[in-house]
Amino acid sequence: MRRLSLPLLLAASAASLLMPARLAADLVWTPQDGWKVEGGVLAEFTGEQGRNALDLMNKARAAEETRGAKSALKLYTNVQKKYPNSIFAPEAIYRAGRIQQQRQELYKAFETYQQLVSRYPNSDKFTQVIGEQYRIASELFAGKRVRLWGWLPGFKNRERALEYYETIVRTAPYSDYAPLSLMNASRGYKQIGETEAAIDALDRMINTYPRSVLTPDAYLKIAETHASLVDGPLYDQASTKHAVTYYEDYMILFPGDAGMVQAESGLAKMKTVLAQSKLTIADYYYKHRKNYKAARVFYNEAITVYPDSDVAKQARAKLVDVDAKLEGQAAAAAGQPAPKAAEPQKKKRFWIF
């Protein structure tokens, strides 16, 4: 065997650095020639295993084209199991997932696609496969029934759709499908009564994708979800305060958004409930505890929460009585007579002679 001289080897190495070869090969299929490996340095080094994998791929595609779905699935499965490191493995998994999806075996299709994106994250079909997974999750969420063994209708399973949405977010957090999945997951959690999970999904949406076109809607939805947990002025107001915060954030961050009227209405309702809560506490201290200082604090808080509301008007009117009581207590403590309450002015009468 003739050996290359050292200068020639150095020259060849320099040329390869200046003009790097395309490492990735393309897998192309045509009805006339079947599957072909084109381009890239890998195209010339398929070897015996590559030829065996290619033969299986051609047989699988032929079966697929003649509607032999079961045979094609079996052959594609053999390719990915026997030749997992070949260029054919990702394509075999993708084709298998497509067949399962067409047969409405949606659970199997999603899991097959998941094998592809987990094992071969650099595949050129990564984004396409995530899109198919999102489609499957959305179909299940809409109530589509899967088919078992390709023909037997199964039950509706919206909970499985929520699991799939979460899987998409974990697998492809920077894809366009991640924020969509979080928004849909939130809606699904709310429908099945898992409100805290719905809030968590929206919170992740807001914090992870602050520049998404869906973020304004996420702010509005999380405010409305917190508002749905409010039981009224007599109960804990944590959800009310959260709703007020998100409504206000939405109105500040997205002043031109289409949901502004909706946000203003929601904010007014929540502020009214919060102000009524302060008023209720103030009335309790005034009537039952005779603690006029505490009553005054809460009446003032009711006014501060929503100054232009009817609740604030009631609080201002009651503050007049509270101030009179406090003056009376102060006078009594100093040994002075309590100041008389101001008498209402009598209306003037006009006599007609």
Segment 294-319 mean pLDDT: 96
Segment 129-157 mean pLDDT: 86
More confident residue, 330 or 321: 321
Residue 71 has pLDDT above 60, yes or no: yes
Name which of 176, 74, 76, 194 is nearest 134 in CA terms.
176
Task: Name the residue with tokens 């979800």.
Answer: 225
Which range is most confident: 61-75, 139-153, 273-287, 320-334? 273-287
What's residue 205's pLDDT?
98
**pLDDT per residue as tens digits for the range 195-209:** 999 999 999 999 999
Kindly list the structural domains of the chain, giving each domain's residue range(s) and its CATH number in brackets, ordered by start. Answer: 26-102 (no CATH), 129-209 (1.25.40)
Question: Is the separation of the CB atoms in 72 and 93 below 8 Å?
Answer: no
- Sequence-separated (6 or more) residues with CB below 8 Å from residue 282: 294, 295, 296, 297, 298, 299, 301, 302, 315, 318
**pLDDT per residue as tens digits for the range 144-167:** 988 776 656 767 789 999 999 999
What's residue 150's pLDDT?
63
Q: Which of 145-180 are b and which e, b meaning 16 or more Cβ less than 10 Å from the residue's Cβ?
A: ebeeeeeeeeeebeebbbebbbbbbebbeebebbbb
What's residue 342's pLDDT?
53
Segment 94-118 mean pLDDT: 96
Report the chain's mean pLDDT, rounded to a whole number. 87
- Sequence-separated (6 or more) residues with CB below 8 Å from residue 95: 60, 61, 64, 72, 76
Residue 274 has pLDDT above 70, yes or no: yes
What's residue 27's pLDDT?
81
